[in-house]
Structure formats: C-alpha cells, structure tokens
Amino acid sequence: DQQVKQNSPSLSVQEGRISILNCDYTNSMFDYFLWYKKYPAEGPTFLISISSIKDKNEDGRFTVFLNKSAKHLSLHIVPSQPGDSAVYFCAASDGGSNYKLTFGKGTLLTVNP
C-alpha cells in the first residue's frame, strides 16, 4: 500500500522553463511534507517543506503547493537550470515526525541546456 505516490518516474524540461513535480498521498493523517533532491552517488538533500496549515511555501526558485482536499502537492522550479537535474523525492510525515516519514519512489528530472 503506497501512501505517497510520485506517478511520473521521469520528467524532461528545457533550461529556463518551469519544472512541475507532482506527488499524491492517501493518508489523511499526514500533516508535514518535504521534498528532497538526490544526485547520483550522493545522499538526499533537503529542499523545501510545508506544513498542512499552509497551502504554499516559497524558497527562491522553489515553491511547494499543497492541496489538502485533493491530497496533492507539487514542487515548482522556476526557472529550471541544468544543475537541477536529479531525482526528487516527496516525503510525508504524521505529526512532523522524522521517524514517521514516508517517501515516494522519486521522479528523475532532466533539465536540458
């Protein structure tokens, strides 16, 4: 039973355009959401998070949107850069607990120059 779903295994965009990565969840107890970025042969790196009391959080080129009624969140990267090419993991937590983090399978983003 996959509680956090990233239905697109891969996404390819042109440099300078917007990248939109999507994530759906099924557990209504999830109330804290995070995005991690992972380069090959490295560990995941925290990117941005959002609490369920918000519907948007922005940090530079990265914005996360949360639609609680649809149990859907998305990560927007504007403008996309070749260095953004990586695997992006969506993660969700019940009560914000790191030991209750559930990760999606990841989406490979490729930004073409």
Partner 1 sequence: NAGVTQTPKFQVLKTGQSMTLQCAQDMNHNSMYWYRQDPGMGLRLIYYSASEGTTDKGEVPNGYNVSRLNKREFSLRLESAAPSQTSVYFCASSLLTVNTEAFFGQGTRLTVV
Q: Closest Cα to residue 23, out of 13, 36, 40?
A: 36
Name which of 37 and 111 has its Cβ closer to partner 1: 37
Question: Is residue 102 within the footprint of partner 1 (CB under 8 A)?
Answer: yes
104 touching partner 1, by CB under 8 A: yes
Of 1, 69, 98, 113, the one binding partner 1 (CB under 8 A) is 98
Which member of 64, 89, 109, 111 binds partner 1 (CB under 8 A)? 89
34 in the Ramachandran plot: left (φ > 0), alpha (ψ -120 to 50) or beta? Answer: beta
Pairing of strands 107-112, 86-94: antiparallel
Residues 6 or more apart whose Cβ sits within 8 Å of residue 99: none
Could you list the residues that contact partner 1 (CB under 8 A)?
A: 4, 32, 34, 41-46, 49, 51, 89, 91, 95-99, 101-106
